Amino acid sequence: MLKETRKDTVTVKRVKRIDSPEEIQELWELYDDAFRKVNEESPCRQSYTEEEFQETLQDEDIEKSILIDRFGKILGIGLTTNNLDKVPWISQAFYQKYFPDHFRNRSIYYIKGLVVSSKRQKRTMIGSILLSHMIDTFPQESIGCFDYSERMNENMPEFVQRVGKERACAGRLLDKQVYFIFEKGSNI
């Protein structure tokens, strides 16, 4: 274990690797439940397959921040890495061109996933606690990046700006990717 952070009735536990089959299964169920609807509504897959998720949990280059309530129930997980080889869907050339010092110093931290139990997403601020913890683990003079489905997370910019501001961080949109469809034979 790397570090533990407490905030009222929840704890964030940082670990490099998860090997317990029971914990892996519990995390997979939470993760899959949170992304099932998102994947049905987005043209781009927004989550890992079960095999990819298990591999990620055992990959020591990807830090896991696990949000746990006072009863020991897992409420969420965040996945972060500064090894950009572990984020195959991004363009490293972009980060090397626009953030050369950060790229060279490996001080670009990519949030590969941030998941809160679907039962707790609307009722509490636990997503903020988890994201705040993750940002707090980034060194000074580093940058944090992530991607998301705008259609499925329309409040994400405000959420991230609020949490970032609380952490004395400034954020900005880097780009948008659009999915378009041609429908032959439709009465447009």
Q: Is 91 inside a domain boundary? A: yes
Question: Could you tell me if 81 and 87 are in contact, meaning their C-beta atoms sit under 8 angstroms apart?
Answer: yes
Angle formed at CA 145 by CA 129 and CA 68, multiple of 5 degrees: 25
Kindly state the percentage of the chain with pLDDT values over 70.
Answer: 76
* Alpha carbons 19 and 110: distance in angstroms, whole number: 23
pLDDT value at position 1? 44
Q: Is 158 inside a domain boundary? A: yes
Q: Is 81 inside a domain boundary? A: yes
The lowest-confidence range among 20-34, 65-79, 149-163 is: 149-163
| Helix (H) or strand (E) segment spanning residue 86 | none
Mean pLDDT of 42-52: 85
Residue 22 maps to which CATH number?
A: 3.40.630.30
Q: Is 182 inside a domain boundary? A: no
Q: Is 114 inside a domain boundary? A: yes
**If pLDDT is split at 50, 70 and 90, which confidence band does 51 have?**
very high
The lowest-confidence range among 39-53, 108-122, 146-160, 174-188 is: 146-160
Question: Could you tell me if 143 and 94 are in contact, meaning their C-beta atoms sit under 8 angstroms apart?
Answer: no
Q: Is 175 inside a domain boundary? A: no
Mean pLDDT of 137-152: 80
Number of folded domains that form the chain: 1
Which domain, by its residues, includes 125?
3-166
What is the side-by-side strand order in the sheet with 3-7? 3-7, 10-15, 63-69, 74-81, 108-116, 143-145
pLDDT value at position 2? 47
